[in-house]
Amino acid sequence: MIKFFRKIRQKTLTENKFSKYLIYAIGEIFLVVIGIYLAIQFNNWNVENQNKDITSNNIVLLITSLEKDSIAFNQIQISIEKDKARLSNFEFRLNQASSNLDTLVKIVRYEYKPFIGVLNFDNDNTYDALVQSGEINLFNRELKNEVFTLYSLHKSAEETNNTHFKLYLDWVTRLNSKYPANLSTYSEGPISEAIWGNVTLIELANAFNPVITSKKNHYRLIGYDLKELIIETNNVLGKLKGAVKVSD
């Protein structure tokens, strides 16, 4: 088509017909512009389709991560509730009029488990990769904001978790450094018997009380975050699964 216009242009020039030449020149320019426009539109369409594929794949990856989080959060919640029940049982027994040094020693030395329920955010790698690559920006605004809000909650909950876990760990370390119990180097044997044989009620109570108090505070504070995490995770999961269905 361009060759056709070029021949006409050359003919009009040789015949000295400037007005016709101008018309054909404009037509040639118009065709070039149309060609460029169509090329750009095709490229945009191609990029848009690629972005849709990237977004769909990323949403599926994010769904997988959040489903793992949902399972983990619920398991942690169950574990914490069981441990809180054990703590309540210890407190009940220690508050009885009949409780004495033997009651406390039995609990601290044999029954109390130093393990503590903590929040785990090992599945955040997918989200972090999306942010670093900028591909999170391919999500629509509403969905992106929902995801941002959820993972901001992850960060704040992680900070709360780590802060109070360190406080608890400090109190447990102090207790076990003085009184060998579960997981201690001298939990059994003559050394352990000698230490426990000389323990006093006041000293042991003062060492054990902050451990229980610290663990209860930890559970109370992360409990709020955990409930919100479970609700928001399920909410975002629903939005992401809905977005996948729409794209299909």
Q: Which of 95, 94, 89 is nearest to 105 (CA)?
A: 94
Per-residue pLDDT tens over the stretch 209-224: 999 999 999 999 999 9
Is the torsion defined by CA of 221, 224, 225, 227 positive or negative? positive
Q: Which string of DSSP letters, residue by residue, matches 130-182?
A: HHHHTGGGGS-HHHHHHHHHHHHHHHHHHHHHHHHHHHHHHHHHHHHHHS--T
Average pLDDT over residues 48-52: 70
Euclidean distance between CA atoms 126 and 222, whole angstroms: 23
| 194 confidence band (pLDDT: 50, 70, 90) | confident
Neighbours of 40 (CB within 10 A): 10
Mean pLDDT, rounded, for 50-75: 91
Q: What is the pLDDT of residue 10?
A: 57
Rounded to the nearest 5 percent, the helix, strand and coil shares of the chain are 85, 0, 15
What residue spans define the domains of the chain?
Answer: 65-247
Cα–Cα distance between 236 and 62 in angstroms, integer?
10
Confidence label for 197 from pLDDT (cuts 50, 70 and 90) = confident
Count other C-beta atoms under 10 Å from residue 166's C-beta: 10
Predicted structure pTM score: 0.76
Quick check: helix, strand or coil at residue 97?
coil
Q: Rounded to whole angstroms, how far apart are CA atoms 80 and 203?
A: 28
